[in-house]
């Protein structure tokens, strides 16, 4: 078992101190910004007053013009410096937001951590619901530090998709452990990701645009025309200057008219072709910064090194290509800028046929990168996903690095706990699920911790296979797929009762267990088939479990039905454990407490009637 990385300063203290320092810096920048606002107002007022005085009085014209010009220069300088200061303030405010989010995430203060806007893919909803994998207060909420679509999708895939080879999990784990120590790099990477989140463009949209089949220009003559017509226009201007307009001026005017007509004729097509990349100009630049940041890594972990090398090609890779696209979008965006920029852009259209040159450059870019863009962002997303898991490892240095092996018949954990609970609330237990031919039967009364144990097993198994640390002192397991039945709902719209919905879920789990050439199934079943009477329920549950046992699956089932452990067809396969409650009769309200400690054997107590009494619904016998 690999040792955890020691951290000398408590993690929440690191985040709190960073947030306090950043908050102080932001307050100072805000004070400076207010001073710049005042200076801009004074400079503007000076320009207004002095130039007005210069226009109104001939005696004050020279002095007013001179001092007015000085105030105008001061206004420009102050405005530029204020703009840079505001950018610095925005940057520090984003850093402050991330530090506060990190502290709240460590404390499991979910309301102060933004919920990643992503859902489980079709077919994964049941697993996500059963184990609290998505949404507020979920595993994804805990782990995700990515703000891009590609990063969130790749993290979701790492958590949901089973692995076929243990070596893949080990390679991911090596990558996560290496990034765990790259704290400044991860902080800047998360900050760059956050900047992209405010934009409209997505990697999928950019890849779809780059791969679009209509990338060819409408006429082949446009590119030669874009060079020939401006060249002729400038040549006629030279002739007009040399011959003093005798011959050159009519030719110059004619060529200018032709150039304007050509520009006007193709304006619609050019605008449509350039509109997509023009509106996503900022995102292109920000994604470029993310790719540049990844290229700075010099990893030794094989999985991470392969990703970085693919993103760091000899010709510059995605970062260089996005830089080229950024230059095109920067020039194209001038048409949508202020009045002066837009006017200059229209003049350049007549003089240089700018749009045609931009169209040609855009076409060349798409032809060079068609079929590649999607792969760029998949790799970037995988790096983001690994960085998110590295952040989890940094936050919890005492969590274990799991061992996954084909030779491991059971999931064996020491000190396993629920990763979504606060450290002060978490109770850990030793547990073994497996080997094949056996099952873990968890008994106990209501609220004693049975469902929490099942979710602890499932969540940590997913973290282990994703390459992350696990909330345990030690964890060994084989590669597995998860099949769960914890939260099942009926459907009035489909006419499916609760009992039938649960039967369908169990049929899916049994079918998963029987699939060939797939990782072993780890099933987690919580109080299944409650929608029928006890006798039929015992028969049905025993049939389901017999199918799973024969298929070689490993798993755990929780139940209130203590007689399940004594059924002849199951008794020899069951490893029975239980939770229990403690009732203090000395208290006037008869206090009930739980220690959530797992014990061997079948539960010896029940508490349904006691809970009725505690909430004021005493039985008739008691009344």
Q: Which residue has the higher pLDDT, 538 or 499?
A: 538
Backbone angles phi, psi at 415, to 5 degrees: 65, 40
pLDDT at residue number 362: 79
pLDDT at residue number 522: 97
561/538 Cα distance (integer angstroms): 8
* DSSP state letter for 229: H
pLDDT at residue number 259: 62
* 299 and 205 in a common domain: yes
Q: Which residue has the higher pLDDT, 20 or 253?
A: 20
Domain contains 123: no
Residue 521 near residue 509, CB atoms below 8 Å: yes
Provide mean pLDDT across the span 374-400: 95
Residues in the chain: 623
* 178 and 42 in a common domain: no
Beta strands in 206-309 (DSSP E): none
Residue 561 near residue 538, CB atoms below 8 Å: yes
pLDDT at residue number 1: 38
Model confidence at 164, pLDDT cuts 50, 70, 90, reads confident
Residue 445 clears pLDDT 90, i.e. is over it: no
Residue 132 CB neighbours (<10 A): 22
* 567 and 420 in a common domain: yes
Domain contains 129: no
Model confidence at 449, pLDDT cuts 50, 70, 90, reads confident
Provide mean pLDDT across the span 363-383: 88
What are the tens digits of pLDDT across the range 584-595? 655 544 567 778
pLDDT at residue number 234: 64
Q: CATH number, domain at 356?
A: 1.10.1420
Domain contains 245: no
386/597 Cα distance (integer angstroms): 33
* 366 and 333 in a common domain: yes
* 349 and 423 in a common domain: no
* 152 and 34 in a common domain: no
Token readout for 278 is 């023009």
Token readout for 67 is 């001092």
* 413 and 388 in a common domain: no
Question: Poorest-confidence range of 341-350, 467-476, 558-567?
Answer: 341-350
Q: What torsion, rounded to 10 degrees, do the Cα atoms 415, 416, 421, 427 define? A: -40
Residue 620 clears pLDDT 60, i.e. is over it: no
Provide mean pLDDT across the span 22-29: 96
Show Cβ contacts of residue 285 under 8 Å, excluding neighbours closer than 6 positions: 322, 326
Q: CATH number, domain at 520?
A: 3.40.50.300
What are the tens digits of pLDDT across the range 92-140? 999 999 999 999 999 999 999 999 989 999 989 999 999 999 999 999 9
Q: Structure pTM?
A: 0.84
pLDDT at residue number 251: 64
**How many CA atoms are closer than 13 Å to the CA of 564, on its beta-carbon side?**
35
Residue 424 CB neighbours (<10 A): 7
Residue 550 near residue 513, CB atoms below 8 Å: no
pLDDT at residue number 357: 73
209/370 Cα distance (integer angstroms): 9
Domain contains 209: yes
Which residues are registered as beta bridge partners of 522? 482, 554
> Of 58, 91, 109, at which residue does a domain stop?
109
* 155 and 70 in a common domain: no
What are the tens digits of pLDDT across the range 176-217? 999 999 999 999 999 999 988 776 667 777 777 777 765 444
What are the tens digits of pLDDT across the range 508-567? 999 999 998 889 999 999 988 876 777 788 888 888 999 999 999 999 999 877 777 778
**Dihedral sign for Cα atoms in the order 286, 368, 296, 382:** positive
Q: How far is CA 204 from CA 150, 207, 236, in A?
A: 8, 5, 47
Q: How far is CA 407 from CA 276, 477, 482, 542, in A?
A: 53, 9, 19, 28
pLDDT at residue number 216: 45
> Of 395, 418, 433, at which residue does a domain stop?
395
Which residues are registered as beta bridge partners of 555? 523
pLDDT exceeding 90 applies to what percent of the chain?
Answer: 47
What are the tens digits of pLDDT across the range 288-309? 899 999 999 999 999 999 999 9
In which region does residue 448 sit, left (phi positive, over 0), alpha (psi from -120 to 50) or beta (all else)?
Answer: alpha
| DSSP letter for each residue of 386-405 | HHHHHHHHHH-TTSBPPEE-
> Of 359, 375, 395, at which residue does a domain stop?
395
Residue 347 clears pLDDT 70, i.e. is over it: no
Provide mean pLDDT across the span 403-431: 95
Residue 619 clears pLDDT 90, i.e. is over it: no
Domain contains 260: no
Domain of residue 325: give its range: 139-228+268-395
**Dihedral sign for Cα atoms in the order 454, 455, 461, 462:** positive
Q: How far is CA 93 from CA 31, 141, 191, 195, 487, in A?
A: 14, 22, 11, 12, 40
Provide mean pLDDT across the span 262-275: 58
Beta strands in 197-289 (DSSP E): none
* 198 and 89 in a common domain: no
Domain contains 53: yes
* 428 and 340 in a common domain: no
Q: What torsion, rounded to 10 degrees, do the Cα atoms 118, 122, 125, 126 define? A: -170
pLDDT at residue number 566: 78
Residue 623 clears pLDDT 60, i.e. is over it: no
Show Cβ contacts of residue 65 under 8 Å, excluding neighbours closer than 6 positions: 50, 51, 54
146/292 Cα distance (integer angstroms): 17
Domain contains 237: no
* 324 and 208 in a common domain: yes
Q: Is 451 helix (H, G, I), strand (E, B) or coil?
A: helix
* 410 and 384 in a common domain: no
- Across all residues in the chain, what is the average pLDDT? 82
Q: Which residue has the higher pLDDT, 277 or 589?
A: 277
Domain count along the chain: 3
pLDDT exceeding 70 applies to what percent of the chain?
Answer: 75
């Amino acid at each position: 078992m690999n040792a955890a990385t020691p951290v000398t300063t408590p993690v929440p203290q690191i985040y709190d101190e960073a947030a306090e320092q950043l908050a102080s810096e932001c307050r100072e920048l805000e004070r400076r910004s207010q001073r710049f606002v005042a200076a801009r107002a004074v400079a503007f007022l000076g320009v207004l007053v002095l130039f007005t005085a210069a226009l109104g009085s001939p005696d004050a014209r020279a002095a007013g013009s001179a001092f007015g010009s000085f105030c105008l220069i001061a206004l420009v300088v102050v405005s530029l410096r204020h703009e840079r200061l505001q950018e610095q303030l925005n940057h520090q405010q984003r850093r402050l937001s991330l530090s506060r989010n990190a502290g709240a995430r460590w404390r499991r203060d979910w309301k102060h951590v933004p919920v990643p806007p992503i859902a489980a893919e079709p077919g994964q909803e049941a697993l996500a619901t059963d184990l609290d994998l998505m949404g507020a207060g979920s595993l994804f909420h805990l782990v995700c530090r990515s703000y891009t679509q590609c990063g969130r999708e790749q993290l979701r895939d790492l958590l949901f998709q089973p692995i076929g080879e243990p070596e893949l999990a080990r390679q991911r784990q090596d990558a996560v452990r290496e990034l765990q120590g790259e704290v400044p790099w991860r902080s800047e990477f998360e900050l760059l990701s956050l900047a992209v989140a405010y934009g409209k463009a997505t990697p999928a949209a950019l890849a779809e645009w780059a791969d679009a089949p209509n990338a060819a220009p409408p006429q082949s003559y446009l590119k030669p025309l874009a060079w020939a017509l401006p060249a002729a226009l400038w040549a006629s201007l030279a002739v007009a200057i040399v011959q003093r307009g005798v011959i050159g001026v009519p030719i110059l005017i004619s060529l200018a008219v032709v150039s304007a007509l050509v520009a006007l004729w193709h304006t619609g097509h050019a605008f449509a072709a350039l509109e997509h990349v023009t509106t996503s100009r900022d995102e292109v630049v920000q994604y470029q910064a993310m790719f540049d940041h990844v290229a700075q890594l010099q990893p030794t972990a094989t999985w991470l090194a392969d990703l970085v090398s693919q993103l760091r090609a000899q010709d510059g890779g995605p970062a260089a290509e996005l830089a080229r696209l950024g230059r095109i979008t920067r020039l194209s965006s001038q048409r949508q800028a202020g009045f002066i920029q837009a006017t200059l852009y229209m003049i350049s259209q007549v003089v240089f046929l700018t749009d045609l040159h931009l169209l040609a450059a855009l076409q060349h870019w798409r032809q060079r990168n068609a079929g590649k863009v999607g792969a760029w962002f998949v790799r970037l997303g995988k790096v983001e996903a690994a960085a998110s898991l590295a952040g989890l490892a940094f936050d919890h240095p005492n969590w274990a690095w799991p061992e996954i092996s084909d030779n491991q018949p059971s999931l064996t954990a020491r000190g396993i706990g629920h990763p979504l609970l606060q450290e002060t609330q978490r109770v850990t237990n030793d547990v073994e699920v497996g080997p094949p031919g056996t099952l873990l039967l968890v008994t106990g009364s209501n609220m004693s911790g049975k469902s929490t144990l099942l979710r602890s097993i499932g969540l940590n198994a997913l973290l282990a296979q994703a390459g992350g640390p696990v909330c345990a002192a030690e964890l060994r397991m084989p590669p597995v797929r998860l099949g769960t039945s914890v939260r099942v709902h009926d459907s009035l719209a489909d006419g499916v009762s609760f009992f039938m919905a649960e039967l369908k879920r169990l049929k899916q789990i049994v079918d998963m267990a029987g699939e060939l050439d797939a990782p072993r199934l780890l099933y987690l079943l919580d109080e299944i088939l409650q929608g029928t009477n006890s006798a039929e329920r015992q028969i049905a549950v025993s049939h389901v479990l017999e199918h799973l046992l024969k298929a070689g699956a490993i798993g755990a089932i929780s139940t209130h039905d203590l007689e399940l452990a004594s059924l002849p067809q199951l008794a020899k396969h069951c490893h029975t454990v239980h939770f229990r409650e403690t009732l203090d009769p000395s208290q006037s309200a008869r206090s009930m407490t739980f220690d959530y400690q797992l014990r061997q054997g079948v539960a010896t107590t029940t508490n349904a009637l006691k809970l009725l009494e505690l909430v004021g619904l005493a039985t008739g016998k008691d009344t």
